[in-house]
Amino acid sequence: MSSSNIEEVRRFNARRCRTGIEKTRRIHTFFRTWAVLCWNFYRVISPMPPIQRFSATNMLYLNFNFSIMKAVFVGPRFGNFAVRIEETGIADPGREDVLVKVVAAGLNPLDYNLINGNIVYNLKPVPHIPGSEVIGIVERDSRSFKKGQRVMVYNRVFDGTCEMCRTHREHLCTNGGIWGVVTNGGYSEYVTVPEKNAIVIPDSIDNDTAVSIPIGALTAYRALKRAGASAGKKLLVYGASGNTGIFAIQFARIMGLDVYGVSRKEWVREYGCTEVFGDGKIPDQFRADIVMNSLGSLFWDDAVKHIQTGGTLVSFGVLTGREAKLDIASLYTREVSIIGSTGGDLKDLTETLEIMKTHRVRVPVAKRFNFNDIGAALEEYSRIRDGRIIIDFA
């Protein structure tokens, strides 16, 4: 065979090879596009949250090289720290969503009790990714955020249309709930959240403090606000060494209140308490304009006793029980107000951040764990400790 014939055969084979590669690419593109269209249609008709919808179609994602991440899962079996780390899909953000790479999360009573099966009402989906306190870095540009911005997740699910939302009380949305309970939470390498739930963290606030803002700081601030906190008033805080207690003490001092704490931890004084009373050691005649009880029924009678005439008791926790008795006569003859408070709305969060931009507010951290050691973190949380448990993802 002449050299010209050999060259012609070589060119023919090269063209056929290129044609075959091109056909393969077109076929791959066709099936990939078809898979994406089917997936988007499934997202529309499925009642499950995006992250759970993915797990039902894991193989589809893996076959077409969609991104996956590690996440902490609990359920359908709960209790005894029955958590596990699994791979699942990163939910693709929609037009009004933002993708966040998780940096750190907090471990709080809500997440602890959820994992141990004490919070199962309205929990969805199951299996479930817990985690209601999360901060992270925006992973890619969205309509309202730029890649690299540091954000926290406002942990209330709200639709923006109900009566509560229309009156700027998003945290009481009649069709919503707590992010991380009625939806999957943030114990994962990435979270996809609505842009309206992503809040930029001021540069002056460190990560450990920022993690605690959407629950601890916001709850404490709104409780003080609802109780009418103002300069010169006296505040008594039950559960002073807890997350909300520490924030309440510091905010109250910034507002000019005289603050007293109830705790066995003497170090609470360092955060601004005039005096710290041990359990059962409050002077009999002591009275406060505002009494804050985040602990529940075990301390109810004591809390009511120490309210000043015309004062206010604000309650936002049931750690020691949900039910309590009340002497109605003692209530109206002293014109005592008893109010409930929970979380806070977006306006409260903005006001909280404004305070924290210009005043140093600290959070004690007892220990930190990598999220791969979530079991050890839960064990540590169950013990008596001084400060928060932080879970690192970076």
Task: Please state, in angstroms and rounded to a whole number, the distance separating the CA atoms of residues 299 and 239.
Answer: 10
CB 249 within 8 A of CB 240: yes
Q: What is the pLDDT of residues 115-174, one digit of tens each?
A: 988 876 789 999 999 999 999 999 999 999 999 999 999 999 999 999 999 999 999 999
- If we measure between CA atoms, which residue out of 61, 64, 62, 59 comes closest to residue 27? 64
**What pLDDT was estimated at residue 94?**
93
Mean pLDDT, residues 284-309 = 93
- If we measure between CA atoms, which residue out of 117, 143, 147 comes closest to residue 130? 117
- If we measure between CA atoms, which residue out of 248, 246, 241 comes closest to residue 266? 241
Mean pLDDT, residues 211-221 = 97
Pick the CATH number of 58-212+366-392 from 3.40.50.2300, 3.90.180.10, 2.50.20.10, 3.40.50.10210: 3.90.180.10
Which ranges constitute the DSSP H helices of 214-309? 218-226, 243-255, 300-305
**What pLDDT was estimated at residue 319?**
81
- E strand intervals along 281-355: 288-293, 307-315, 337-340
| CATH number belonging to domain 216-340 | 3.40.50.720
**What pLDDT was estimated at residue 61?**
37
pLDDT-derived band of residue 242, with 50, 70 and 90 as boundaries? very high
**What pLDDT was estimated at residue 141?**
95
Tokens representing 217 are 């700081």
Query: Could you tell me the CA-to-CA distances from 169 to 126, 161, 342, 345 in Å, in that order?
Result: 28, 11, 11, 5
**What pLDDT was estimated at residue 59?**
36
**What pLDDT was estimated at residue 195?**
98
- If we measure between CA atoms, which residue out of 229, 204, 86 comes closest to residue 150? 204
Question: Structural domain boundaries of the chain?
Answer: 3-45, 58-212+366-392, 216-340
Task: Please state, in angstroms and rounded to a whole number, the distance separating the CA atoms of residues 252 and 234.
Answer: 9
Kindly report which listed range (53-57, 74-78, 261-265, 312-316) carries the lowest average pLDDT score.
53-57
pLDDT-derived band of residue 26, with 50, 70 and 90 as boundaries? low
- Looking at residue 160, the DSSP 8-state letter turns out to be S
Tokens representing 74 are 């609990």
CB 200 within 8 A of CB 149: yes
Whether residue 187 has pLDDT greater than 70: yes
Q: Give the rounded distance of the alpha carbon of 115 from its chain centre.
A: 14
pLDDT-derived band of residue 279, with 50, 70 and 90 as boundaries? confident
Mean pLDDT, residues 4-25 = 52
Tell me the whole-structure pTM to 2 decimals: 0.82
Please give the order of strands across the beta sheet that includes 337-340: 275-277, 258-262, 234-238, 288-293, 307-315, 337-340
Q: What is the pLDDT of residues 50-101, one digit of tens each?
A: 433 333 333 333 333 358 999 999 988 887 778 999 999 999 999 999 999 9
Task: Please state, in angstroms and rounded to a whole number, the distance separating the CA atoms of residues 22 and 234.
Answer: 77
For residue 375, the one-letter residue type is G
